[in-house]
Structures are given as C-alpha cells and as structure tokens.
Amino acid sequence: MADQALSLLSQDLRRPGERTLWIADENIPSDLCAPVSDVEVVGNRYDLIQALRAQGWPAEFSDFDLRARNDASLDRIVYRISKEKPVVHHLINEAARLLKPGGELILIGDKSEGIKTYSRKAQQCLGGHRDERKEGSIWRISLSRGQNNPEWLDDQDYRQLRPMTLDDGAPYLTKPGLYGWNKVDRGSAFLIEQLPAMTGHSLPLQSRVLDLGCGFGYLALNACATDAQLTCTDNNAAALQACRANLEQRGFNASVIASNAGTGLQPGFDIILCNPPFHAGFGIEGDLTDRFLAQAQRLLAPGGIACFVVNLHIPLERKASGRFAQIRCHADNGHFKLIQLSQAL
C-alpha cells in the first residue's frame, strides 16, 4: 500500500465521536495506529485480525460477512478497496445497508485499482453526495448515504460458494476473492503431477499431511486419501470456507484451521505441501518467505519431506539454507520449480 493511502486511512480512523467500521483487507499493516474509541474492525486476514486484537482493537475475523449487523446502525465506514471487483461491490452494498441516512462511506485507493469507477458506482448505490480528493496517486472518496432505496451493485452473489468445473475437469466449490478462484493454478498442478516422484509414495497419500496455505483445497483434494491425517491451513477467511466445504463434499475427515503461515499448529507432519502466495502484491524477499519456511522447519516430523512449488525467480533454496540439511530442486518446467526440503535443523 502506498504511503499516501496509509496516511489517509490513519487520519480517517482517528476521527473521534462517530460509530465507525473499518473494513481491513490484505496489505494493511497491523500497526497502523492505536485503537480508537467507537471504531470496530472486520477483516478476512487472520494474521491482521490477531495482531489488531492483541493491540486492543475490537476486531472480527470473517469473509466480510456483516449480516449480523443491524441496518442503519453506523455513522461511518472506512475501506481501503480490495483487488477483486465482487468483493468491493459486496462491501459497497453492505455500506448502503449499514449506514444511517447521512452516514459516510470513505473509499481509499489508487486509480489503477479502479477507485474512480467504484466512486461513481458507490454514489449510484448510496444515493448521496460525493467528494473526491487526490494525494499523489491515491484518491480519497467520501460518499454520503442518501434517503433513497439503494441501487444494488452486482457482486456475483459474493457470499455464496459456487460449484465450478475447472480446467482439470473436476468440480470444486470456490468464490471470487480467492487467488486463482476460477482456474487450476499451474504450479499446483505441476506439484501434483510430480508428487509421487518427490515423496516416493503413490497417490493418494495416506500419511500425516499438511496443506500449508491451502486456498480452496486443490492440493489436499488431489494428493490425499479421504482417511489421511490431513490438516489444511490458510490466512484467508474465504479460503478456509471454500476448503472446508470442498473437503466435506468429498468425504474427507480433515482439520481446517485458521493460521498465519502455520503458526499455532502442532508439529509431526510426514509431508508438507505448499504453494505459497508469492503472486502480485506479495514480496519475494520479505518475511513471508521466511515465515513459511520457518514453520515448515518446525512442523516437519523427523524423516518428513516438505514439497514447495514456487516461481523460478523465487530464491527459496537460499532462504531455506540453514533450516534444512537437504535442499533439492526436484524439477522445473520453465515457469515453476519444485523444491524438496528434508532433515529440518
């Protein structure tokens, strides 16, 4: 997030005297500012919500499910817009429902993220006034809730999981807002293809398996037997919802756990599968890489194997050095590489 966006967000959260909801999506730092009276937080990132709770914020972890909140109950909503259009439309619709007449929705974002289009659509939905202010490349949009009935935006029925037959021919339950929600990730497919050779075990796996950063569950569903001792974990509320539903639909007896890159889980896994989220919006040299590797090191059982798939440019071997005695590039296909890690130090 740009510095201007952080500054604007912090200023709006510190305004006193109004019942405010802060909608916190990805790429929001947890140490933005100290708790503010009458400001509640809802977010879909487990690590962020845990950090905010530790600081004293009243913070709710959910996939932006605001149905328990009463209509016309808020004076202000502050929202740094998300990357996915259905998510943004869903939250603008919820703002129209939750704000009191005359209440304020504040949208913050870059022009390249579609903030100007969302500004126009939000005004149509809320029916009130609109004020736009630019700082650098970041826009702050203030919209008031009018007296009219909302003109609801198309959010593709965001709350609901939907069945999709993806390009591997298999049906999955998924939803907008998840990374790669409407396709099979090519890196994950490459890992599944090579997994028997990497692990020395034919599929489906029967052992103690961890899908670390599970998304909607593609790796677990395609690698494991239904009676495997399977644990799936993710930081994203929508991913956990979709993964749990997919596993239940196919008869898996598995644990699906909210976690920040595996923290809080008990060690002892024979196989760890991981396609970490090193796509746009996540740094390749930052601490996210180290967190996944540190937890894989901690969670792996003696004699276990961690199987990672990453883009070719990710320096995973260098990052893993000092954590594992054996680090091997099993294969690469010109786009992705498969890294096998064993003998955690």
CA atoms in the 13 A half-sphere facing the CB of 342:
13
Same domain for 136 and 230, yes or no, is no
Same domain for 208 and 310, yes or no, is yes
3 state DSSP class of 336: strand
Residue 156 located in a structural domain: no
φ and ψ at 126, to 5 degrees?
A: -80, -30
Residue 151 located in a structural domain: no
> How many domains in the chain?
2
Per-residue pLDDT of the chain (345 residues; tens, 9 = 90+): 457 888 888 889 988 778 999 999 876 777 777 898 899 999 999 999 999 999 999 999 999 999 999 999 999 999 999 989 999 999 999 999 999 999 999 999 999 999 999 999 999 999 999 999 998 889 999 999 998 899 999 999 999 999 999 888 889 999 988 878 888 999 999 999 999 999 999 999 999 999 999 999 999 999 999 999 999 999 999 999 999 999 999 999 999 999 999 999 999 999 999 999 864 444 433 578 889 999 999 999 999 999 999 999 999 999 999 999 999 999 999 999 999 999 998
* CATH number, domain with residue 179: 3.40.50.150
Of 116, 145, 174, which one is at a domain's C-terminal end? 145
Same domain for 173 and 298, yes or no, is yes
Q: Please give the DSSP secondary-structure letter assigned to residue 334.
A: S
Compute the distance between CA of residue 295 and CA of residue 122 in angstroms, rounded to an integer: 42
Same domain for 90 and 195, yes or no, is no
Residue 157 located in a structural domain: no
Is the whole model's pTM more than 0.85, yes or no?
yes
What pLDDT is recorded for position 248?
97
Same domain for 59 and 169, yes or no, is no
Residue 59 located in a structural domain: yes
Residue 294 located in a structural domain: yes
Same domain for 223 and 319, yes or no, is yes
Same domain for 137 and 172, yes or no, is no
**Quick one: residue 264, left, alpha or beta (phi over 0 = left, psi -120 to 50 = alpha)?**
left
Compute the distance between CA of residue 188 and CA of residue 206 in angstroms, rounded to an integer: 19
φ and ψ at 150, to 5 degrees?
A: -65, 145
Q: Please give the DSSP secondary-structure letter assigned to residue 321.
A: B
Same domain for 195 and 62, yes or no, is no
Same domain for 182 and 120, yes or no, is no
Domain range spanning residue 301? 162-344
What pLDDT is recorded for position 214?
96
Same domain for 127 and 170, yes or no, is no
Same domain for 169 and 284, yes or no, is yes
What is the identity of the amino acid at 281? Answer: G
Residue 155 located in a structural domain: no
Which residues are CB-contacts of 40 (< 8 A; sequence separation ≥ 6)? 20, 21, 22, 57, 58, 59, 60
Of 115, 145, 175, which one is at a domain's C-terminal end? 145
What pLDDT is recorded for position 1?
44
Same domain for 189 and 123, yes or no, is no
Residue 266 located in a structural domain: yes
Residue 186 located in a structural domain: yes
- Number of separate helices (H) and strands (E) present in the chain: 9, 16
**Beta strand residue intervals within the chain, DSSP E:** 20-24, 39-43, 59-61, 74-80, 99-110, 127-135, 138-145, 162-165, 171-174, 208-212, 229-234, 254-258, 269-274, 300-311, 324-332, 336-344
